[in-house]
Amino acid sequence: MSEIAQIDCGNLATVQAFQEEVWEDPIQKLDLVADVESARAVLENQRVRFTDFQGPKKKTVSLEWLTTCDRGTTDCSDDCSIDGDDATPECKEYELSCLQESDGFKINDRVYRERTIDTQKSLAVQIENAKMNLDNYIALYVLAQILANAGTNAYTGSPGTVAAAVTTIPATAWNDQIWGYYARVILGNKFKNPYAISGDNLFQLVYNRLADQANADGKGNVNRMGSLRNRIYFDPINIEDNAIAPSTTFLLHHTSCAFISKAWYPQGAANRQVLTADRVAWSDPSRNLPGIVYDIFAERGCSDNDYYTAYKAQLHGTFALNPQPCDDTNSGILAFECV
């Protein structure tokens, strides 16, 4: 089968090379770097494991775990007679449907006959832009899901005031003493290797303390940060500027949640899969988020006496909570608001 112009293998191989060139150019790259720290935090810390994809039509993954919530201790009994119940199996399935797609765009054949930029370079830039927009979407989506799934803080000591899924802390308490409070919260909620995501809360405090740590009198304040010193992610653009969770800091158990995604087509434009005579698809990795891959679709068409190729990028994925422990109010995610 012969293919036309923009969607043939050789042309797309050139596009793929231009994509690398665009990303490596320090000026062009400025417009392609996304604000995705919240999503990066989850992707770098998630540990959940899923089964293989199942089903001929619905693409699902299944997570299974065991619960043993009702056991305790009792007086010693006869060694010859032991009784009890097995652990209870639990299972949850996640369907990886289309979560979001980029706005489509067209490249008309005739227009580029009069331009100094060729179609391959234009396509490379626009594909990278489409992927960046989906990167930004993931960051907003993940952050909104973290907020929606915050659990109840088991530690009710000061300076925090616990009210359902939000612990409020007075603005005057966001100082060097806050780290001792967080250390107690971590113990009270049985978090292991927690990490934090914050906006403006703590931003200037951490910035200044890290700058002062070389001073003889600055080491103590840095040491107070404990394990969070290297495990706090700042995302003021999405938390504050995009108003997803203003004045909020999140503390997460490192296995509490995950963002899982899947692309269905071969990776790389040069390896595109022919779907129909005028339609191909391939997958392309995110430049900003580790492990995220998008499906790219291309379709030939003709309108107003001019042939064109239309493109879009597509994301399949979902946000998933790890199995909750016996206390169903403990999601492994805590939200702290500065008031």
pLDDT at res. 319: 93
The number of folded domains in the chain is: 1
Distances (CA, A) of 19 to 139, 189, 213, 288, 313: 23, 46, 41, 14, 15
Return the structure tokens found at 119.
């179609």
pLDDT in tens, the chain (339 residues): 334 455 666 577 777 787 878 888 888 888 888 999 999 999 999 876 555 454 445 577 776 655 666 677 778 887 787 777 776 666 677 788 899 999 999 988 887 777 767 788 888 899 999 999 999 999 999 999 999 999 999 999 999 999 999 999 999 999 999 999 999 999 999 998 899 999 999 999 999 999 888 887 778 888 899 889 899 999 999 999 999 999 999 999 988 898 988 899 999 988 999 999 899 999 999 999 999 999 999 999 999 888 999 999 999 999 988 776 667 778 899 999 999
Q: Which domain holds residue 118?
A: 1-66+93-339
Is residue 84 in some structural domain? no
Distances (CA, A) of 325 to 82, 94, 133, 262, 330: 26, 19, 35, 27, 7
Is residue 79 in some structural domain? no
pLDDT at res. 89: 65
Strand arrangement of the beta sheet that strand 333-338 belongs to:
161-163, 166-169, 333-338, 248-252, 195-198, 232-234
Q: Is 114 helix (H, G, I), strand (E, B) or coil?
A: helix
Phi, psi dihedral angles at 183 (to 5 degrees): -60, -40
Kind and range of the H or E run holding 207: helix 203-212
Is residue 71 in some structural domain? no
Residues 8-52 pLDDT 10s: 665 777 777 878 788 888 888 888 889 999 999 999 998 765 554
149 close to 118: Cβ distance less than 8 angstroms: no
Q: Alpha-carbon Rg of the chain, whole angstroms?
A: 25
Is residue 134 in some structural domain? yes
- To 5 degrees, how large is the angle CA 49–CA 51–CA 55? 145
- Residue among 253, 338, 308 at smallest CA distance from 122: 308
Is residue 126 in some structural domain? yes
256 close to 333: Cβ distance less than 8 angstroms: yes
Is residue 76 in some structural domain? no
Is residue 18 in some structural domain? yes
pLDDT at res. 3: 42
**In 3-state terms, the chain is what percent helix, strand and coil (to 5)?**
30, 30, 40
**Separation of CA 101 from chain center:** 16
CA gap 296, 218 in Å, rounded = 50
Q: What is the pTM of this model?
A: 0.86
CA gap 102, 315 in Å, rounded = 9
Q: What is the DSSP string of 259-281?
A: EEE---S-BSGGGPEEEETTEEE
Kind and range of the H or E run holding 10: helix 9-24
Is residue 274 in some structural domain? yes
22 close to 125: Cβ distance less than 8 angstroms: yes
